[in-house]
Structure 1
Amino acid sequence: MQLPWAIGGGLTVVATAVGFSAASGLLSQKSPVLVVAEPLAAGQTITSDALRTIPVAAEAGVGTIDASMASKVVGRTVAVPLTPGSLLNVTDIGKSTFPPAGQAELAVALRAGAYPLDLAAGDRVQVVVAGDSQLPTPTTNTAAVAPAPVPTYAVVTKVGRSDGQGGTVADLLMDQTSIQKVASAGPSGVSLAVLPPSAGN
């Protein structure tokens, strides 16, 4: 799965993609196209092991790349992070355009129980920072009510291996304001909840 929520609109069709356009038009019948076989980070070089082929019937404008173009794809770099199972698109190849303007990645240490065990790159998550859900401290002024905390959303771009005690490190893509908020929470103050496709913003 690619990251359409986080990076949609942040991509531009790079010049190097033009060379693939002739082979990636309308596929009215099922034809073999290139698929990502292993995680690829933005700017990483594509190897033959990182690709596989599957037959698909793609609509016009999808931008898939025909399997016959594999030799021209290998050795190029990817512009955005790609996850296994993603159909390789012509806009995925070229100079890195990641992270999008106004956003950045942050490596977050997660303790055991603070994240789903099946957390994976491409997941959209709500980042829960310790203290966000606490009730406001009672005051003598009953009219003063603390505003509800603004939810923090992010996209997982990488999940590290377990540290042997159930903890891990995940790279999260989020806006600059959220970066400061999450970074200040410390290694034990952050937990993640995976969102369904239609949730969040």
Structure 2
Amino acid sequence: MTSTSQRSTGADVGSVAWLGKTGRLAAVPTGRRTRRRLPHLLAGVLLVVVCVGGALWWAASTQGHISVLAIARPVSVGHILEPADVHQVEISAADGVATIPAGQAATVLGKPMATSLTADALLTPGSIGPSTIPAAGQAVVAVGLKAGQFPLELAPGAPVLVVLATASSPTTSLPAAQGSGDGLTWVATVTGVARAESDQTTVISLQLPSATAPTLARVPAGQVTLVMLAGGER
């Protein structure tokens, strides 16, 4: 009888070992579970912050930009614009440059170029229509050059420095010329490039001041070299 009572008492004690001294249920420890959930909460908050920051950055970077038309490949004056000649670029609306919106591409396709433009040059309303070359006070001179006398990257619209290896006449008869060592130089703009198939001569049309053009036209073949300048350099 005594042993049975003791076993019962021991079982009861084991079954209520988790009770508090007052007989009430003891609180289940939650510190370990909280510590496990904390990294997941921090990761969720960080993900939200990154998403919001990315959205704000994207909105700020695209605000104030417009889509306009630019030249995809070099075109010469008189060329009829084709779809492959233009592409869309993003520029700042605050630039104040006269441009053609990308959505108006249909209004310029099939029309002639009024000027020659290089690749990536912005298409402007003034560059479409009747030829504006030569401009007022300007003239166009054709020069025949061999390989090595001009850069291979030369294209219509490119600004160049015309360098004379040897002066063919006194410097006093070369108006608008700039002294450059033993030779002379003029700033001009390429309006056309025609590479001949039968020989090694390439005919390049240059636009420069009317007072200088006749002098350049009299320079003997082989004495002219072209140096291509940066787009804004003159």
Q: Same fold (TM over 0.5)?
A: yes
**Distance in 1, Cα, partners of 2:233 & 2:104:** 37
Structure 1 unaligned regions, length at least 5: 1-26, 137-147
1:56–1:135 distance in 2 versus 1, CA, 3 Å: closer
| More RCO (CA 8 Å, sep 6+) | 1
Matched, 1:175 2:209: yes
Deviation per CA, 1:129-173, whole angstroms, max 9, x where unpaired?
Answer: 24329999xxxxxxxxxxx87632211223333768764221111
**Distance in 2, Cα, partners of 1:199 & 1:75:** 31
RMSD of the TM alignment (CA)? 3.2
Matched, 1:109 2:144: yes
Percent identical among aligned pairs is: 34
1:101–1:50 distance in 2 versus 1, CA, 3 Å: same
Post-superposition, which runs of at least 4 consecutive aligned residues in structure 1 deviate over 6 A? 133-136
1:93-172 equivalences in 2 (<5 Å): 93-132=128-167, 151-161=185-195, 167-172=201-206
For the pair shown, the structure with the greater C-alpha radius of gyration is 2
Alignment match, 2:80:
45
Other structure's SS at 2:80 match: coil
Measured after TM superposition, the shift of residue 102 of structure 1 is: 1.6
2:64 pairs with 8, 29, 35, which one?
A: 29
1:80 pairs with 115, 118, 123, which one?
A: 115
The TM-score with structure 2 as length reference comes to: 0.58
Alignment match, 2:55:
none
The 8 Å contact of residues 105 and 174 in structure 1, kept in 2 or not, is answered as yes
Question: Which range is displaced more, 82-91 or 161-170?
Answer: 161-170
The TM-score with structure 1 as length reference comes to: 0.66
Deviation per CA, 1:84-137, whole angstroms, max 9, x where unpaired?
Answer: 21111122223322211121212211123222333333332222224329999x
Matched, 1:190 2:224: yes
Alignment match, 1:57:
92
For these two proteins, the number of residue pairs brought into alignment is 163
